Amino acid sequence: MSIKVENLTKYYGTQAAVNNISFEINKGEIVGFLGPNGAGKSTTMKMITTFLTQNDGKIFVEGIDTEVDSLAVRKKIGYLPETNPLYLDMNVVDYLYYAAELDGIQKSNVKSAVENVIEKCGLQDMTHKNIGQLSKGYKQRVGLAQAMINEPDVLILDEPTSGLDPNQIIEIRKLIRDLGKQKTLILSTHILQEVQATCDRVLIINNGEIVADGTPESLQSQFKGQVVIELTVKKDQSTNREKLLQEIRSIKGIEQARFEMEDSISWKFHLSCKKGADIREELFRKIVSLNLVILGLYQEETSLEDIFRKLTQN
Ligand code: ADP
pLDDT in tens, 36-80: 999 999 999 999 999 999 999 999 999 999 999 999 999 999 999
With cut-offs at 50, 70 and 90, classify the pLDDT of residue 314. low
With cut-offs at 50, 70 and 90, classify the pLDDT of residue 202. very high
Pairing of strands 56-61, 209-214: unpaired
Contact 188, 46 (CB under 8 A): no
38 lines ligand 1 (CB under 6 A): yes
Task: Determine how many CB atoms are found less than 10 A away from the CB of residue 32.
Answer: 26
pLDDT in tens, 78-127: 999 988 889 999 999 999 999 999 988 999 999 999 999 999 898 999 99
pLDDT in tens, 279-308: 999 999 999 999 999 999 999 888 878 888
All structural domains of the chain: 3-216 (3.40.50.300), 227-306 (3.30.70.1340)
The CA 135 to ligand 1 mean position distance, Å, reads 28
Cross-strand bridge partners of residue 249:
none
With cut-offs at 50, 70 and 90, classify the pLDDT of residue 1. confident
In 3D, which of 272, 256, 274, 266 has the Cα closest to residue 295?
A: 266
The CA 217 to ligand 1 mean position distance, Å, reads 29
The CA 214 to ligand 1 mean position distance, Å, reads 24
- Predicted TM-score (pTM) of the model is 0.81
In this structure, the residue with its CA closest to atom 22 of ligand 1 is 12
